[in-house]
């Protein structure tokens, strides 16, 4: 059974025997879907950032486990569980910072252990992970929007919409919900170096008929100083128990700017993004991607020029005004962390 999603943008589509992934590297110029039939292909799609965003990565990995089970059960009925477990290790190595990846794989591991002689139950588990994420996003959208009653302007970073989740979005889900109640000015930073804001966020909002204004990342401080921004709203790839939050590189600097200018900071993420065993953000592994992704072509062979290319940074809880999850909101997380959500 295929999941239905009424949004115009869908990052992942399960077809019954394959996973179709919207290759986000080509957006907005081209809308291209790649079809994957095995776990190795899904892992490569995650590593290469064809699919991105912590919730979407977890969902894609879950379907990757299903593809592995279907393939190995057909070819090796006696040892298929061991072969699936090996594929799960490959999927786990694809993006180390996104805790949703490991949460989804843990759920799939439990389903694998409980499966009898047929992997069909794994598909039911993956589809539940997908459906639960969409439901969580809609719930977070409503909770977050309720906090924005008097807001006139929002700034967001990276892409946190249907492209990064099972559907609707985390931070963009809040923006969608608020815009349905009352129009609001939405600003998006370009989000260097992959330009997820410029290529993905403003395009996705335009697909839903929501006006958005793109700014250069370096213009954020001046925009905040102008008084146009009431809230900075972002997603998360991993949240520690004390509320420290890992998100796309540049989030920390925006939170510092927001503190100086009296702008509220909202983090929106499902509880699957919370690493309950991690006391604080100092234990979050920050993924470093290849320097070649950042260096212009003219420097690729220049031994004197290198690049430092972290994908994420960690925003301390004391810079965050509120964390919104599907289980509820945490005001001033630096005071008590997020364990109250348990």
19 with 159, same domain: the answer is: no
Same domain, 323 and 205: yes
Residue 1 falls inside a structural domain: no
User: Where is the domain boundary, 136, 158, 181?
Assistant: 136
Same domain, 190 and 113: no
Of 208, 262, 273, the residue nearest 234 (C-alpha): 273
Q: Provide block-wise average pLDDT over 10 residues at a time, the chain (342 residues).
A: 56 95 96 97 96 94 96 85 95 89 95 83 95 97 96 97 96 97 96 96 95 98 98 97 98 98 98 95 94 94 95 97 98 96 88
Considering the domain architecture, whether residues 169 and 108 belong to the same structural domain is answered as: no
How many structural domains are present in the chain? 2
Phi, psi for 178 (deg, rounded to 5) = -65, -40
Told to judge if 132 belongs to the known catalytic residues of this protein, a careful annotator would answer: no
With contact defined as beta carbons under 8 Å apart, do 202 and 209 qualify?
Answer: no
Judge whether 336 lies within some domain.
yes
Catalytic pick among 87, 133, 230, 237: 237
The 3-state DSSP class for residue 323 equals strand
Contact call for residues 54 and 236 (beta carbons, < 8 A): yes
Structure token digits, residue 85? 């477990």
- Domain end, chosen from 136, 153, 172, is at 136
pLDDT at 6: 53
User: What is the rounded distance in angstroms from the CA atom of residue 262 to the CA atom of residue 208?
Assistant: 30
Q: Report the CATH number at residue 297.
A: 3.40.50.10470
Looking at the domain assignment, is residue 91 inside a domain?
A: yes
Smallest Cα–Cα separation from 291: which of 276, 261, 311? 311
Q: Provide the pLDDT for residue 76.
A: 80
Residue 271 falls inside a structural domain:
yes
Tell whether 157 and 284 lie within a shared domain.
yes
Q: What is the pLDDT of residue 106?
A: 96
Q: Which residues pair with 248 in a beta bridge?
A: 312
pTM here?
Answer: 0.91
91, 119, 136: which is the final residue of a domain? 136
Residue numbers of the domain that contains 95: 12-136
Q: Do both 336 and 246 map to the same domain? A: yes
Is the distance from CB of 45 to CB of 51 less than 8 angstroms? yes
Give Cα separations from 342 to 18, 45, 110, 227, 302 (angstroms): 35, 33, 21, 37, 51
User: What CATH number did the domain enclosing 115 receive?
Assistant: 1.20.120.420
Q: 184 and 81, same structural domain?
A: no
Does residue 32 come out as left (phi exceeding 0), alpha (psi in the -120 to 50 range) or beta?
Answer: beta
Q: Are residues 325 and 181 in the same domain?
A: yes
Residues 298 and 304: beta-carbon distance below 8 Å: no
């Amino acid at each position: 059974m295929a999941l239905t999603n009424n949004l115009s943008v869908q990052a992942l589509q399960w077809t019954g025997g394959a996973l179709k992934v919207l290759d986000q590297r080509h957006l907005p110029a081209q809308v291209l879907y790649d079809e994957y039939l095995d776990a190795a292909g899904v892992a490569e799609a995650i590593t290469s950032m064809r699919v991105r965003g912590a919730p979407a990565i977890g969902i894609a990995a879950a379907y990757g486990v299903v593809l592995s089970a279907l393939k190995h059960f057909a070819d090796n009925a006696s040892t298929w569980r061991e072969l699936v477990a090996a594929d799960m290790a490959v999927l786990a190595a694809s993006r180390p910072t996104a805790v949703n990846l490991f949460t989804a794989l843990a759920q799939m591991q439990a389903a694998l252990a409980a499966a009898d002689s047929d992997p069909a139950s794994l598909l039911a588990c993956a589809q539940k992970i997908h459906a639960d994420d969409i439901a969580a996003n809609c719930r977070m959208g409503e909770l977050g929007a309720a906090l924005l009653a008097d807001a006139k302007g929002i700034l967001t970073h990276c892409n946190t919409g249907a492209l990064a989740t099972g559907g609707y979005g985390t931070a963009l889900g809040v923006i969608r919900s608020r815009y349905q109640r009352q129009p609001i000015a939405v600003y998006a930073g370009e989000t260097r170096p992959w330009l997820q804001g410029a290529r993905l966020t403003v395009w996705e909002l335009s697909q839903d008929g929501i006006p958005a204004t793109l700014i250069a990342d370096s213009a954020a401080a001046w925009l905040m100083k102008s008084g146009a921004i009431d809230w900075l709203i972002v997603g998360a790839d991993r949240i520690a128990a004390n509320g420290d939050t890992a998100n796309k590189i540049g989030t920390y600097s925006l939170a510092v700017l927001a503190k100086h200018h009296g702008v509220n900071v909202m983090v929106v993420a499902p509880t699957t993004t919370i690493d309950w065993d991690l006391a604080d953000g100092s234990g979050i592994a920050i993924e470093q991607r290849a320097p070649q992704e950042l260096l212009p072509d003219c420097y690729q062979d220049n031994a004197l020029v290198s690049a430092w290319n972290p994908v994420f940074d960690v925003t301390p809880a004391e810079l965050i005004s509120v964390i919104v999850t599907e289980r509820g909101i945490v005001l001033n997380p630096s005071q008590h962390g997020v364990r109250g959500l348990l």
